[in-house]
Structure 1
Amino acid sequence: MIYGQLENMAHEISVVPGIVLEGLRFLEGKDFASLPAGRIDIDGDRVFALVQDYRTKPETEVRPEAHSRYLDIQFIASGCEKIGFASSTDAPPAVEDYSEERDIRFYDHVPHESSLLMTAGSYAVFFPWDIHRPGCSISEPCDVRKILVKIDMHHNR
């Protein structure tokens, strides 16, 4: 897992892995308010973005998830949310596994979950070995505009 602020990209450019930098470069200089909700192809199925508008929910209403094929760069364009995260190392088996169809597995709970407080301009990178619980309310429900950049880890080996 990597956490950062898009405004610090000039400082982070030398330490962020190239595969992540490709996704961050897509975010650089964008007018996020004018992007239409939905999918934006960057490089076909290898790299694409999902522009999402939603209201956060209490943590108890959001299930932890993980992916096998894609890494996620979750960028908050507006609003704020809490994202839980944990290593998949000692996680219980997934309760629902849609890895083949939709590249997602859901968990009822994960041990040793920590939280990130995400505000406008912040991003978090979740690799396939990171379980994450996005879209959680910090204290009250909040409207969020998120740009989710998906990068195919299998294609980039």
Structure 2
Amino acid sequence: MIIDVLSNAGKYSGLHPNFKKAFDYLSQNDLINLEDGAFEIAEGLKVIVISGEGTTREESIKGFECHDQNIDIQISLKGPETFAWKPREKCVSPNGEYSEERDVRFFHDKPDMYFELQEGQFAILFPTDVHAAMIGEGMLKKIVIKVKI
């Protein structure tokens, strides 16, 4: 997992061939005014814009998840937004089977920690990062970029 501010995003372009395209997209668009929804911006890059009421830690960890085929870049646009996190290697209690169609695997495990993203901060969550998001009060807005591995 990586946590940083958008102004430092260029430092991570070399980590994956599509990271530069993802961060270019973020720097070239009026992010706060993007409409909710999901769309592809390039092959292997999908953008999901989410606005919604923040939830409790207890409610959020019902969706404690990780992905096998994608890296998430999650950007807080209106927050703050809290995330739950645990390394996948420490998760021992699966919650159902892996969904290849949705590229998601859920766990019943308890998070090791919580962290908070302020507006303009992002987290890069790799397949080794089990996470739950949208924890907070009031309306939250975020962008999730799915980067195909």
TM-score by length of 1: 0.84
For 1:144, the equivalent position in structure 2 comes to: 140
Give the conservation status (yes or no) of the 8 Å contact 2:93–2:109: no
The answer to whether the aligner puts 1:123 opposite 2:119 as a matched pair is no
AA aligned opposite 1:151: V
Question: How many Å apart are 1:81 and its aligned residue?
Answer: 1.1
In the TM superposition, residue 4 of structure 1 has moved relative to its aligned partner by 0.6
Over 6 Å off, 4+ runs:
none
Worse-superposed segment, 60-69 or 94-103: 94-103
Measured in 2, the distance between the counterparts of 1:114 and 1:24 equals 27
Equivalent residues in 2 for 1:1-157 (5 A)?
1-9=1-9, 12-13=11-12, 17-19=15-17, 20-44=19-43, 46-63=44-61, 64-110=64-110, 113-137=112-136, 141-153=137-149
In percent, how many aligned pairs have the same letter?
25
**Larger fraction in helix:** 2
User: 2: distance between equivalents of 1:17 and 1:6?
Assistant: 16
Instruction: Supply the RMSD in Å over aligned alpha carbons.
Output: 1.8
Letter in 2 for 1:4: D
- Compared with structure 1, are the counterparts of its residues 94 and 21 closer, same or farther at alpha carbon in structure 2 (3 Å cutoff)? farther
Q: Aligned partners of 1:78, 1:29: CA distance in 2, in Å?
A: 18
The residue type equivalent to 1:115 in the other structure is Y
Check the 8 A contact 2:74/2:142 in 1, yes or no.
Answer: yes
Instruction: Tell me if the contact between 2:51 and 2:142 (Cα under 8 Å) persists in the aligned partners.
Output: yes
> How far apart, in 2, do the equivalents of 1:115 and 1:43 lie?
32
Unaligned runs of 5+ in 1: none
What are the ranges of 5 or more consecutive residues in structure 2 without an aligned counterpart?
none
